[in-house]
Amino acid sequence: MDTRNNLNPVRILAIGYIIIITAGTILLSLPISVQAGQKLAFIDVLFTATSAVTITGLVVVNTGEAYSMFGQLVIMVLFQLGAIGFMTLTTVYAIIVGKNITLKDRLVLQSSLNQLSYAGVVRLTIIVIIFTLLIETVAALVLFLRWLPEMGMGQALYYGIFHAISGFANAGFDLFPNSLQQYTGDVVVNFTVMTLFVIGGLGFTVIVDLYVKKGVFRNLSLHSKLILFLSLVLGILGFLVILIFEYNNPATMQDFSFKERILASLFQGLTPRSAGFSTIEIGDMHPVSIFVTKLFMFIGGGPGSNAGGIKLTTFGMLMVVVYTLMRGREDFNIFERRIPQHLINKSLAIIIIGIGAVVLISTILLITEDAPFDMVVFEVISAFATVGLSAGLTPDLSPLGKLIISFTMFVGRLGPLSLAFALSVKRKKSKVKYIEEDVIVG
């Protein structure tokens, strides 16, 4: 595609996100958007809008305390748009008014939904909208009924809708002082929110595949099998790590009942994959728990989902490469299927670009911020992977630090490889093929 005359799909998505972030920043800057007596700096408003649109959830001010109901509704619309995607809504509008969906539109949708082909993306778009509204409605009703005796009709309904959308979007925004820490032992709140962000982190391709194949694992596509298998393995591993290292941690779970310990371990074992909610204080966790949380944040969820990170399939490709080389085999096989070499190359490129971005941004923040190394790296990974968990540094960032983290969230939402493609010029095939020669590695 000649980029001088046409914008490629990734650039269109980038421009679309920038427009939505700009509109959100303007709306959140209005006096009606903030609580009486509150005055927010422009950089704080920009940070919030970026965090919402990129469905990250990092905040520099408490959402429930700093923003009025109008401001909170703006934030809710922003992370709903960020989750569904503006191209998805544009396509639905075009279908309603009878407008033709052009090839260009389908290519942008393909990039937005992270699909292998543009065939069937319009149908998938409609499914995305219907399923999103359905699961958010059900979850909002469950949360409404749970909070009704505690809050009253109006507030319970509002809180139910806000947190249902935030949960499924993997946005991590909440209206409570300390995320969901006051509901650590609440079975309904925990399992409702966990269900939302786990499903939201699988990807719509997997959800549709499960529905069509009636949940029979052996009939699923290789993509779905890999996502579900790795989700289960990492979920169990995360649960065990948190349970073991936080069980008697006086700063987190020592005073919890056994039920609260189990719920908190399960919740915190799953949430790093992009949810951004927490039921224990992240900064007080054991170093091993924090390290595993960083790793899980960097891995993220499924492609085409509301989760960020390098994606589960990318991590899966790396594991396949390691396993194959250790066994001395040539073909990269998994679940009785062979992985094409170009997918291995793409996965390695994404991982290298991701690590490079985290290292570079962390280095810059270590210069601009007076903060410990571990805390800086945690915040950068959380922003890059659009997770939203914080070890406590985000509210104390300098204006320059907030701007850097905002850019990091934007890059993370687009995806490292997508950004590289968006900034690249037209690729040319090499006219010369050189003689192959080995080098010593390892």
Q: Per-residue pLDDT tens for 179-236?
A: 899 999 999 999 999 999 999 888 777 887 787 788 788 888 888 888 999 999 999 9
Domain presence at residue 101: yes
Q: What is the pLDDT of residue 102?
A: 56
Q: Bigger pLDDT: 425 or 351?
A: 351
Amino acid occupying residue 1: M
Give the contacts of 45 (CB within 8 A, at least 6 positions apart): 25, 28, 29
Which of 33-42, 64-73, 285-294 shows the lowest per-residue confidence on average (mean pLDDT)? 33-42
Domain presence at residue 440: no
Domain presence at residue 432: no
Domain presence at residue 434: no
Query: Closest by alpha carbon to 302, among 290, 316, 320, 292?
Result: 316
Domain presence at residue 133: yes
Percentage of the chain beyond pLDDT 90 is 48
Domain presence at residue 74: yes
Domain presence at residue 169: yes
Rounded to whole angstroms, the Cα distance separating 179 from 276 reads 9
Examine the pLDDT at 407 and tell me if it is beyond 80: yes
Q: Bigger pLDDT: 88 or 167?
A: 167
Rounded to whole angstroms, the Cα distance separating 290 from 385 reads 15
How many structural domains are present in the chain?
1
R_g of the chain, CA atoms, integer Å? 22
DSSP state letters, 55-92: T----SS-HHHHB-HHHHHHHHHHHHHHHH-HHHHHHH
Q: Which helix (H) or strand (E) element contains residue 28?
A: helix 9-28
Examine the pLDDT at 426 and tell me if it is beyond 60: no
Return mean pLDDT, the chain: 84
Among positive and negative, which fits the CA dihedral 69, 75, 79, 82? Answer: positive
CB 82 within 8 A of CB 171: yes
Q: What is the pLDDT of residue 190?
A: 94
Rounded to whole angstroms, the Cα distance separating 99 from 72 reads 33
- Boundaries of domain holding 389: 9-421
DSSP state letters, 126-182: HHHHHHHHHHHHHHHHHHHHHHHHHH-HHHHHHHHHHHHHHHHTT----SSTTTTGG
pTM of the model: 0.86
User: pLDDT class for 380, splitting at 50, 70, 90?
Assistant: very high
